[in-house]
């Protein structure tokens, strides 16, 4: 199992965009993929 975590304390650095794109590419390559958005803004939910 491979676990990839992206984090940064600074806002506006592209964390959500990077995570959504990595999750998409992982799923497209046939991997079981979980995107867990624990940011209080829940920005990834709007992109799925």
Condensed to tens digits (0 to 9), the pLDDT of residues 1-48 reads 888 888 888 888 888 889 899 999 999 999 999 988 777 777 777 666
Give the separation between CA 40 and CA 19, rounded to whole angstroms. Answer: 15
pTM of structure: 0.74
pLDDT of 42 reads: 72
pLDDT of 14 reads: 84
How buried is 16 (Cβ within 10 angstroms: 0-12 exposed, 13-18 middle, 19+ buried)? Answer: buried
pLDDT of 47 reads: 63
């Amino acid at each position: 199992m491979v676990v990839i975590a992206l984090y940064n304390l600074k806002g506006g650095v592209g964390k959500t965009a990077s995570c959504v794109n990595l999750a998409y590419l992982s799923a497209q390559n046939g991997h079981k993929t979980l995107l867990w958005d624990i940011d209080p803004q829940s920005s990834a939910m709007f992109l799925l």
